[in-house]
Amino acid sequence: MRNQANIQDLTVEVVLKKAKNNALQALLTDPVVNSLTQAAQILNDLCKLQAEYLPFE
């Protein structure tokens, strides 16, 4: 349960700080993400699909 709260805290920081690196860190904290490569790919896909809603490019 605490891990999920940490992921949510990091996600809030992403929005408040407009920091893409924090988004990558949040993904890496998630137990369903198995590697840095996978996290980076998920983040890149997310940025492309949700660009108008994300605080960074």
Spans of all domains in the chain:
2-49
Is the dihedral angle over the CA atoms 18, 10, 8, 49 positive or is it negative? positive
Give dist(CA 15, CA 56) in Å, integer. 9
Residues 6+ apart with CB under 8 A from 10: 22, 25, 26, 29
Give dist(CA 55, CA 32) in Å, integer. 24
For residue 3, the model assigns a pLDDT of 80
The one-letter amino acid code at 29 reads T
Whether the predicted pLDDT of 49 surpasses 80: yes
| Tens digits of residue pLDDT in 5-48 | 888 888 888 888 888 888 999 899 889 999 999 999 999 999 99
For residue 57, the model assigns a pLDDT of 59
Residue 31: what are its φ and ψ, rounded to 5°?
-65, -15
Report the predicted TM-score, pTM, of the whole model to 2 decimal places. 0.78
